[in-house]
Amino acid sequence: MPRALVTHGHADHARPGNGAVLATPETLAIMQARYGEAAWREQQALAYGDRLEVGGVSVGLAPAGHVLGSAQAVLEWRGCRVVVSGDYKRRPDPTCAGFEVVPCDLFITEATFGLPVFRHPDDGAEIAKLLASLATYPERAHLVGAYSLGKAQRILALIRQAGYDKPIYLHGALQALTRLYEGFGLDFGALLPATGAAKAELAGEIVLAPPSSLTDRWSRRLGEPVTAMASGWMRVRARVRQRGAELPLVISDHADWDELTRTIAEVEAPEVWVTHGNEDALVHHATQQGIAARALALVGRGEEEQEQDGRASGAEA
Amino acid sequence: MKDFATLLDRLSFTPQRNGKIRLLAEHFRNAPDPNRGYALAALTGTLELAAAKPAQVRALVESRVDPQLFAWSYDYVGDLAETVALIWPERPGAKRPPDLPDVVERLRLASRREAPAILETWLDGLDATGRWALLKLITGALRVGVSARLAKTALAELGAPDLAAIEEVWHGLAPPYEALFAWLEGRAARPEVDHRSAFRPLMLAQPLEAAELPSLDPAAYRAEWKWDGIRVQLVAGGETPRLFSRSGDDIGRAFPDVLEAMRFDAVLDGELLVLRDGAVAPFNDLQQRLNRKTVTPKLLRAQPAHVRLYDILFEAGEDLRALPFDERRARLEAWHAREAPARSDLSPLVPFEDWDALAALRAGLREQGIEGLMLKRADSAYEAGRPKGPWFKWKRDALILDTVLMYAQRGHGKRSSYYSDYTFGVWRDADEGGVELVPVGKAYFGFTDEEMRRLDKWIRDNTVERFGPVRAVKPGLVLEVAFDALHRSKRHKSGLAMRFPRVSRIRWDKPANEADWLAAAEALLEG
Ligand SMILES: [Zn+2]
Ligand SMILES: [Zn+2]
């Protein structure tokens, strides 16, 4: 695209090869780290709260609480305000700025977890499950599958919040972005590379890796690890089995059903468009609340998610 | 309830046997009485609760949740209890979550009509995992991959010498098993078991590999026929006589004629048969008698039950199990001659000179009701379980395999409302370690409508996945499949195909892990 406003650095939202990119400084740094030269021809940073005029439209970015640098796009034209949520969540995340409610006339919301069966539990309790499993299986490595951008760093921060202070081992694919987060002032304590560590060294340790390495050849170096997977999809047992995860951790960077419905109520928009997930149920709900709601199909999304996650469904980026 | 729910949740995602044992043992060690005892009862299937029906649960949730949202959610999740657990709208400041003992004790007293209202307050008090565990518990569908045997194996880790020591006392005890835990933790003496009413674990035989025969001394072994019925234990001398299946289920209710004849003080091991005019009737006739809640006089006349005795374990309170087989046999013969109980006889010893003579005898076996031979060491004590060496079973050659039901499909025509076409498999070592089933064939069978209904229900209750008209079921039901020949084929993953396969019987009594292995099937290949 000649001009792109990028809400955050996940691959299904930030693609390489754009002309001019407008995003938060954090998102620009993430795109640079991921795509290098191919990221854009020119870029412009816009901090949360600042505004910019583009062809008569006033553009601003508000925190979305999804991952570091994630933003909602706030567009104003002749007194009419449109907010594009991008991916978001409402609960606190030590690794990024919290979601800001921006009242608007049209709200375009994501709906990754747009079914009322998705209610993410308290993340502290999920981390406690991981630590309890370490006590049950002190001789087994605990391999935690987590997306490389956002989820992995949030898990690190939560483990530290829970008082766990031993070194945590990282798969090579998580190193660069974790260093980037540290560059923005986050402290994850002692981190060691998992690649190259001896099997005996990893016994009883926490190892973070991208989800795809849970079942691939790479995980064999860990002996017989307890495989944990941190994702909102882990709420549903069939998805856990599909993943082959032994220890599901229901931790998501997306809004769950209650957060979605609460946000729709709080932005007070008379019109809501729903995209990026289970649109039907959320449209049904909003309609019942007297809101003009419709599903908005975005082109090409499925494909991108496949890339991100290695399977047709189940991406959470 | 929280600890129990966490346990079930972890068990359901833990594939390795050792991992399951670890989780179970940890729970049994840490949970208080009577919670752990009820957990044990739930896992071993000894809890009898006034359960709620799935339809009641569904009605309950539909009173709380938008029906369209529920329908979409159920569609996505695929399991009713799980959908309800996840979708149940939590109310801030709701009721206190129930304890497992609360649940058990309350439901024991509740009627089926009261159950939904009680359930509703509990669902309000629990979190999603707790609700899931509760719903699984009260709809009677626990299914977390733990057999009673595995739960007891984990229990033994608390301080029993072995599994057999647990089995020995198990059947004399009841939930919540406080005396059992006290003994295992060294706080109390071993629970006294009344041998006049309790089941004693059976001694089972290893299959004989023809190759090992020459290494065995024929003079050290006794041979018996292996009858084609159901292995049972008769326990009498207490208030009421009891008839147990080999897994310890009390099956006496279906056999009042056998119970009526048990007017003695002994514990006996034998084979339950239908005997008509002195001849063993086909196994199907015995099937007619099994699993009946009530038995009509007509059925009792048409399919008269009989026990053919193999062994004696107790006589008038005296434990004979440590005696050598020959001595027990002498005691059994003397006892039977003296007592002469009705509806019973002795399974005769089969004399033989050497292994060749016995093999010839076995090769000539055509008689109805004989499955093969049993070989028992003359000096063998009666040991619980399946010790290697003292007892062997040597089945007659027949193209028969014990397979495990894997998939079921609706039939055609008259059968179209039942799952009556079956794909079954045998075990093999999986590439990633552990074992897996590989399909070896597909067949339907022509049993009575009643058997079909029962099978159909089992399939519905044990479905793990659906693909259109086909259901994948958990590996839990053994089908004995007869066939004319076996040859190589690329059609099945096992590389084998059967000619004219038919399900010859449903082995409700046989645990799935005792079904045949791929190697046993390959041994039957033609040419
Ligand atoms: Zn996304
Ligand atoms: Zn995202």
Q: What CATH number corresponds to the domain at position B449?
A: 2.40.50.140
Q: Which ligand is located closest to the Cα atom of residue A305?
A: 1
Domain that holds residue B305: 228-346
> Residue B302 is part of a domain; what is its CATH number?
3.30.470.30
pLDDT bin (cut points 50, 70, 90) of residue B415 is: low
- Gap from A151 CA to chain B (nearest CA, Å): 22
Q: Is residue B354 located within the same domain as residue B446?
A: no
Neighbours of ion ligand 2 (CB under 5 A): A 10, 87, 317
Per-chain mean pLDDT for chain A: 91
Q: Is residue B113 located within the same domain as residue B233?
A: no
Q: Is residue B463 located within the same domain as residue B492?
A: yes
What pLDDT, on a 0 to 100 scale, did the predictor assign at position B414?
55
Distance of CA B300 to the CA centre of its chain: 25
d(CA B468, CA B321): 53
For the whole model, what pTM was predicted? Answer: 0.73
Q: Is residue B423 located within the same domain as residue B492?
A: yes
Q: Mean of the pLDDT values across residues A57-62?
A: 96
In a domain, B159, yes or no: no
d(CA B209, CA B216): 11
Question: How far apart are the CA of B509 and the centre of ligand 2, in A?
Answer: 53
In a domain, B254, yes or no: yes
Q: Does A117 touch chain B (CB under 8 A)?
A: yes
Please classify residue B128 by burial: count the beta carbons closer than 10 Å to its beta carbon, then call 0-12 exposed, 13-18 middle and 19+ buried.
Answer: buried
CB < 8 Å to A237, chain B: 12, 77, 79, 82
CB < 8 Å to B133, chain A: none
Q: Is residue B7 located within the same domain as residue B135?
A: yes
pLDDT bin (cut points 50, 70, 90) of residue A314 is: very low
Q: Does A238 touch chain B (CB under 8 A)?
A: yes
More confident position, B117 or B262 = B262
In a domain, B161, yes or no: no
Residues of B with catalytic function: 226
Q: What is the pLDDT of residues A3-48, one digit of tens each?
A: 899 999 998 898 888 889 999 999 999 999 999 988 889 999 999 9
Q: Is residue B333 located within the same domain as residue B384?
A: no
What pLDDT, on a 0 to 100 scale, did the predictor assign at position A311?
32
Q: Is residue B266 located within the same domain as residue B211?
A: no
What pLDDT, on a 0 to 100 scale, did the predictor assign at position B446?
56
Domain count across chain B: 4
Structure tokens, B239: 């208030």
Please classify residue B50 by burial: count the beta carbons closer than 10 Å to its beta carbon, then call 0-12 exposed, 13-18 middle and 19+ buried.
Answer: middle
Please classify residue B234 by burial: count the beta carbons closer than 10 Å to its beta carbon, then call 0-12 exposed, 13-18 middle and 19+ buried.
Answer: buried
What pLDDT, on a 0 to 100 scale, did the predictor assign at position A300?
41
> Residue B83 is part of a domain; what is its CATH number?
1.10.3260.10
Question: How far apart are the CA of A5 and the centre of ligand 2, in A?
Answer: 14
In the stretch 130-189 of chain A, residues with CB closer than 8 A to chain B read 136-137
Identify which of A156, A169, A244 has the alpha carbon closest to the alpha carbon of residue A199.
A169
Q: Is residue B63 located within the same domain as residue B23?
A: yes
| Residue of chain A whose Cα is closest to the Cα of B77 | A236
What pLDDT, on a 0 to 100 scale, did the predictor assign at position B527?
45
CB < 8 Å to B10, chain A: 247
pLDDT bin (cut points 50, 70, 90) of residue B412 is: low
Q: Does A220 touch chain B (CB under 8 A)?
A: no
Collect all residues with Cβ–Cβ distance below 8 Å to B254 and sequence separation of at least 6: B289, B290, B291, B292, B293, B295
A241 with A263: CB under 8 angstroms?
A: no
Q: Does A247 touch chain B (CB under 8 A)?
A: yes
Neighbours of ion ligand 1 (CB under 5 A): A 12, 87, 317
Q: Is residue B331 located within the same domain as residue B475?
A: no
Helix residue spans in chain A (DSSP H): 25-35, 123-136, 151-161, 172-183, 199-202, 237-243, 257-267, 279-288, 301-309
In a domain, B32, yes or no: yes
* Partner residues linked to A45 by β-bridges: A23
Q: Does A42 touch chain B (CB under 8 A)?
A: no
What pLDDT, on a 0 to 100 scale, did the predictor assign at position B238?
84
In a domain, B16, yes or no: yes
**Tokens 């560590």, located at residue:** A197
The reply to whether residue A235 touches residue B83, judged by beta carbons under 8 angstroms, is: no
Q: Is residue B337 located within the same domain as residue B440?
A: no
Q: What is the pLDDT of residues B136-189, one digit of tens each?
A: 988 777 777 788 889 999 999 998 888 888 888 887 888 999 999 999 999 999
Per-chain mean pLDDT for chain B: 87
pLDDT bin (cut points 50, 70, 90) of residue B214 is: confident
- Gap from B173 CA to chain A (nearest CA, Å): 30
- Where do the domains of chain A lie, and which CATH numbers do they carry? 3-117+253-308 (3.60.15.10), 123-249 (3.40.50)
Question: How far apart are the CA of A261 and the centre of ligand 2, in A?
Answer: 19
The Cβ of residue B413 has, within 10 Å, a number of other Cβ atoms equal to 5
The count of residues in chain B is: 527
